[in-house]
Amino acid sequence: MKNPREPKAPKAPKTPVTLAQRVEQLKAAWVKFEAWARAFAKRVLPRPYDDEKTRLFKTIAWSLIGMAFLVVFLSVSVFFLALRGQEETMVPQVVGKDLASALIELQEKELTPYVQVKFSEDPRDKGNIVGQDPQGGILAKAGRRVTLWVSRGAIIDNVENFVGQNINDVQLRLKTLFSTQATPLLALTPNPVYTFSSSPEGTVLEQKPVAGTPLAHRPNLWSSSARGPRARPLRSASMTDARGRSLWPC
């Protein structure tokens, strides 16, 4: 039995291989590979002396193999191209600008605009950009879609004619028009003006600003009173604009 404590015999030193011997080994390996490749090609590649069925089978088989390699090559190429990704660009800030200028800026940055329209609180915003997503100043890949909200103006941009209507109906009408706005463009003043008239109670006799006055401009304020036969006092509409200015008829 071999004693485990017995020291191992020293290994024989390896004979160094010269460069010439390495070259000879490579040549021999290449000759073997070449012979194997020729034998393999004779068996699998179509040969002139093959019968018709064998030649057809080999042709179809190699055609399928070539197509498979082509598909793999194209898939790998597309994969690595996709890994590179598109270049990043800075999203411009276009809120407050007109639509044409905004589209030109996005086109210069190679971004895709998606336009939507909405009503805004200020009639002067009509035709301008009132919102965007993503916001300006962030980095995005070229070709990304940027949503733009373009103002259609206010729901109404001119003062309607409320003369002859009931003041409660006018109040309901204004609340309906500006229900989505924090500060309505037009509203009734809390203290209505009373005057004598033969019209039914609550009828609007006169309004200021007059019908057709643009809401985007400061109305010309003036007042006058219409007095009919002495009767029960009637209320007339008094209105204020979004800036708190009194726009009241008498």
Report residue 221: phi and psi, to 5°: -85, 135
Convert the pLDDT of each residue in 129-167 to its tens digit: 999 999 988 888 888 899 999 998 776 667 778 788 887
Kindly tell me if the per-residue pLDDT of 125 is higher than 90: no
3-state secondary structure of 188: strand
The vertex-120 CA angle with 119 and 122, nearest 5°, equals 140
Convert the pLDDT of each residue in 195-210 to its tens digit: 777 777 778 778 777 7
Kindly tell me if the per-residue pLDDT of 97 is higher than 60: yes
Convert the pLDDT of each residue in 69-87 to its tens digit: 999 999 988 887 776 666 7
- Fold (topology level) of 88-151: Trypsin Inhibitor V; Chain A (3.30.10)
Domains of the chain, by residue range, sit at: 20-84, 88-151, 155-250
Which has more pLDDT, 121 or 231? 121
Encoded tokens for 177? 């028009």
pLDDT for 11 equals 66
Sheet holding 112-118, edge to edge: 112-118, 145-151, 129-133
Alpha-carbon gap, residue 98 to 126, rounded angstroms: 9
Convert the pLDDT of each residue in 164-197 to its tens digit: 888 788 778 777 776 666 666 677 777 767 777 7
pLDDT for 38 equals 80
Candidate from 16-30, 81-95, 122-136, 142-156 with smallest mean pLDDT: 81-95
DSSP string of 33-53?
HHHHHHHHHHHHS--TTS-HH
Residues in Cβ contact with 115 at an 8 Å cutoff, skipping those fewer than 6 apart: 99, 148, 150
Terminal CA-CA length for the chain: 128
Kindly tell me if the per-residue pLDDT of 222 is higher than 50: no
